[in-house]
Amino acid sequence: MPFRDYIAAPHKLAYIEGKERTEIPCIFCAIIQGDPHVITKIAYRDEDFMVILNMFPFNPGHVMVVPLRHVEILSELSRTELEAFFWMGTKTIQLVEKAFNPTGVNMGLNIGSAAGASIEHLHLHIVPRYPRELGFMETTADTRTLVMDAETTYQRLEPHLHLLQDSPTEKK
Protein backbone atom coordinates (compact mmCIF):
# COMPACT_ATOMS: atom_id res chain seq x y z
CA MET A 1 0.00 0.00 0.00
CA PRO A 2 1.55 3.34 -1.05
CA PHE A 3 2.18 6.00 1.54
CA ARG A 4 -0.18 8.97 1.34
CA ASP A 5 -0.42 12.26 3.18
CA TYR A 6 -3.79 12.97 4.71
CA ILE A 7 -5.37 16.14 5.90
CA ALA A 8 -7.76 15.24 8.70
CA ALA A 9 -10.71 17.45 9.63
CA PRO A 10 -12.79 15.36 12.05
CA HIS A 11 -14.58 18.49 13.29
CA LYS A 12 -16.39 18.58 9.91
CA LEU A 13 -18.29 15.35 10.64
CA ALA A 14 -20.89 17.16 12.74
CA TYR A 15 -21.53 19.52 9.82
CA ILE A 16 -21.78 16.69 7.30
CA GLU A 17 -24.23 14.84 9.53
CA GLY A 18 -26.25 18.00 10.11
CA LYS A 19 -25.48 17.98 13.83
CA GLU A 20 -23.34 21.09 14.05
CA ARG A 21 -24.58 23.25 16.89
CA THR A 22 -24.91 26.94 16.35
CA GLU A 23 -26.40 29.67 18.45
CA ILE A 24 -26.75 31.88 15.38
CA PRO A 25 -29.90 31.23 13.33
CA CYS A 26 -28.69 33.29 10.33
CA ILE A 27 -25.04 34.21 9.91
CA PHE A 28 -25.83 37.11 7.57
CA CYS A 29 -28.41 38.58 9.94
CA ALA A 30 -25.82 38.28 12.72
CA ILE A 31 -23.31 40.18 10.55
CA ILE A 32 -25.93 42.84 9.78
CA GLN A 33 -26.66 43.23 13.50
CA GLY A 34 -22.94 43.48 14.32
CA ASP A 35 -22.67 40.26 16.35
CA PRO A 36 -19.12 40.28 17.78
CA HIS A 37 -18.95 36.45 17.66
CA VAL A 38 -19.06 36.42 13.87
CA ILE A 39 -15.84 36.92 11.94
CA THR A 40 -16.55 38.95 8.84
CA LYS A 41 -15.24 41.69 6.60
CA ILE A 42 -17.83 44.09 5.24
CA ALA A 43 -16.53 45.91 2.17
CA TYR A 44 -19.61 48.08 1.65
CA ARG A 45 -22.99 48.70 3.22
CA ASP A 46 -25.88 50.97 2.34
CA GLU A 47 -29.52 51.07 3.46
CA ASP A 48 -30.47 47.94 1.49
CA PHE A 49 -27.41 45.75 0.89
CA MET A 50 -23.96 44.85 2.08
CA VAL A 51 -21.03 43.50 0.10
CA ILE A 52 -18.96 41.13 2.21
CA LEU A 53 -15.85 39.11 1.63
CA ASN A 54 -16.37 35.38 1.50
CA MET A 55 -14.31 34.14 4.45
CA PHE A 56 -13.76 30.80 2.69
CA PRO A 57 -13.31 32.09 -0.87
CA PHE A 58 -13.24 30.05 -4.02
CA ASN A 59 -10.72 32.53 -5.45
CA PRO A 60 -9.08 35.80 -4.37
CA GLY A 61 -11.68 38.56 -4.61
CA HIS A 62 -14.70 36.28 -3.96
CA VAL A 63 -17.35 38.53 -2.45
CA MET A 64 -21.10 38.34 -1.85
CA VAL A 65 -23.97 40.81 -2.19
CA VAL A 66 -26.43 40.34 0.67
CA PRO A 67 -29.80 42.06 1.19
CA LEU A 68 -30.03 43.56 4.68
CA ARG A 69 -33.61 42.36 4.95
CA HIS A 70 -33.79 38.63 5.65
CA VAL A 71 -35.17 36.99 2.51
CA GLU A 72 -34.55 33.44 1.35
CA ILE A 73 -35.73 33.45 -2.26
CA LEU A 74 -35.81 35.98 -5.09
CA SER A 75 -39.61 36.20 -5.13
CA GLU A 76 -39.52 37.70 -1.62
CA LEU A 77 -37.88 40.81 -3.09
CA SER A 78 -40.04 43.54 -4.58
CA ARG A 79 -39.43 44.44 -8.21
CA THR A 80 -37.52 47.54 -7.09
CA GLU A 81 -35.43 45.51 -4.62
CA LEU A 82 -34.74 42.88 -7.26
CA GLU A 83 -33.47 45.52 -9.70
CA ALA A 84 -31.33 47.10 -6.97
CA PHE A 85 -29.97 43.66 -5.93
CA PHE A 86 -28.74 42.85 -9.42
CA TRP A 87 -27.56 46.42 -9.96
CA MET A 88 -25.42 46.05 -6.83
CA GLY A 89 -24.19 42.74 -8.25
CA THR A 90 -23.22 44.49 -11.48
CA LYS A 91 -21.42 47.25 -9.59
CA THR A 92 -19.67 44.64 -7.46
CA ILE A 93 -18.40 42.88 -10.58
CA GLN A 94 -16.92 46.23 -11.68
CA LEU A 95 -15.26 46.54 -8.25
CA VAL A 96 -13.76 43.05 -8.44
CA GLU A 97 -12.60 43.61 -12.04
CA LYS A 98 -10.91 46.86 -11.06
CA ALA A 99 -9.22 45.42 -7.96
CA PHE A 100 -8.26 41.94 -9.21
CA ASN A 101 -8.22 42.08 -13.02
CA PRO A 102 -9.71 38.60 -13.54
CA THR A 103 -10.19 37.19 -17.02
CA GLY A 104 -13.74 36.13 -16.14
CA VAL A 105 -16.33 36.34 -13.38
CA ASN A 106 -18.97 33.92 -12.11
CA MET A 107 -22.10 35.51 -10.68
CA GLY A 108 -24.29 33.00 -8.91
CA LEU A 109 -27.16 32.25 -6.57
CA ASN A 110 -27.62 29.01 -4.66
CA ILE A 111 -31.25 28.93 -3.57
CA GLY A 112 -32.19 26.01 -1.35
CA SER A 113 -30.00 23.30 0.15
CA ALA A 114 -30.33 21.02 -2.90
CA ALA A 115 -28.81 23.84 -4.98
CA GLY A 116 -25.85 24.18 -2.63
CA ALA A 117 -27.11 26.95 -0.35
CA SER A 118 -25.55 26.57 3.08
CA ILE A 119 -27.06 29.82 4.39
CA GLU A 120 -30.79 30.43 4.22
CA HIS A 121 -30.48 34.14 3.44
CA LEU A 122 -30.42 35.22 -0.18
CA HIS A 123 -26.96 36.24 -1.37
CA LEU A 124 -25.23 36.67 -4.69
CA HIS A 125 -21.72 35.27 -5.16
CA ILE A 126 -19.26 37.22 -7.29
CA VAL A 127 -16.30 34.94 -8.02
CA PRO A 128 -13.37 36.21 -10.12
CA ARG A 129 -11.86 33.58 -12.42
CA TYR A 130 -8.29 33.35 -13.62
CA PRO A 131 -6.55 31.32 -16.32
CA ARG A 132 -4.10 29.64 -13.92
CA GLU A 133 -6.31 28.90 -10.94
CA LEU A 134 -5.04 26.49 -8.33
CA GLY A 135 -6.99 23.30 -8.43
CA PHE A 136 -4.74 20.40 -7.44
CA MET A 137 -5.79 20.25 -3.77
CA GLU A 138 -9.43 20.71 -4.67
CA THR A 139 -9.23 17.96 -7.27
CA THR A 140 -7.15 15.41 -5.40
CA ALA A 141 -7.77 16.10 -1.72
CA ASP A 142 -11.11 17.91 -1.54
CA THR A 143 -9.23 20.73 0.19
CA ARG A 144 -9.29 24.44 -0.57
CA THR A 145 -6.06 26.35 -0.98
CA LEU A 146 -6.48 29.97 0.05
CA VAL A 147 -3.86 32.08 -1.67
CA MET A 148 -5.00 35.41 -0.24
CA ASP A 149 -6.34 36.24 3.21
CA ALA A 150 -9.35 38.49 3.86
CA GLU A 151 -7.31 41.50 4.97
CA THR A 152 -5.19 41.48 1.79
CA THR A 153 -8.35 41.04 -0.30
CA TYR A 154 -9.97 44.00 1.44
CA GLN A 155 -6.88 46.16 0.87
CA ARG A 156 -7.12 45.41 -2.88
CA LEU A 157 -10.84 46.29 -2.94
CA GLU A 158 -10.70 49.38 -0.71
CA PRO A 159 -9.38 51.94 -3.23
CA HIS A 160 -12.28 51.07 -5.56
CA LEU A 161 -15.22 50.84 -3.11
CA HIS A 162 -16.62 54.13 -4.42
CA LEU A 163 -17.80 52.14 -7.46
CA LEU A 164 -20.57 50.62 -5.30
CA GLN A 165 -22.13 53.97 -4.39
CA ASP A 166 -24.09 54.51 -7.62
CA SER A 167 -27.80 53.95 -7.23
CA PRO A 168 -29.73 51.75 -9.72
CA THR A 169 -31.31 54.82 -11.30
CA GLU A 170 -27.94 56.44 -12.02
CA LYS A 171 -27.01 54.05 -14.83
CA LYS A 172 -23.96 55.18 -16.74
Q: Where are the alpha helices (DSSP H) in the chain?
A: 13-16, 27-32, 79-100, 136-141, 150-157
The secondary structure of the chain, three-state, reads CCCCCCCCCHHHHHHHCCCCCCCCCCHHHHHHCCCCCCCCCEEEECCCEEEEECCCCCCCCCEEEEECCCCCCHHHCCHHHHHHHHHHHHHHHHHHHHHHCCCEEEEECCCCHHHCCCCCCCCEEEEEECCCCCCHHHHHHCCCCCCCCHHHHHHHHHHHHHHHHCCCCCCC
The residues carrying an active-site annotation are 123
Whether 64 contacts 157, CB under 8 Å = no
Q: Hey, is 45 helix, strand or coil?
A: strand
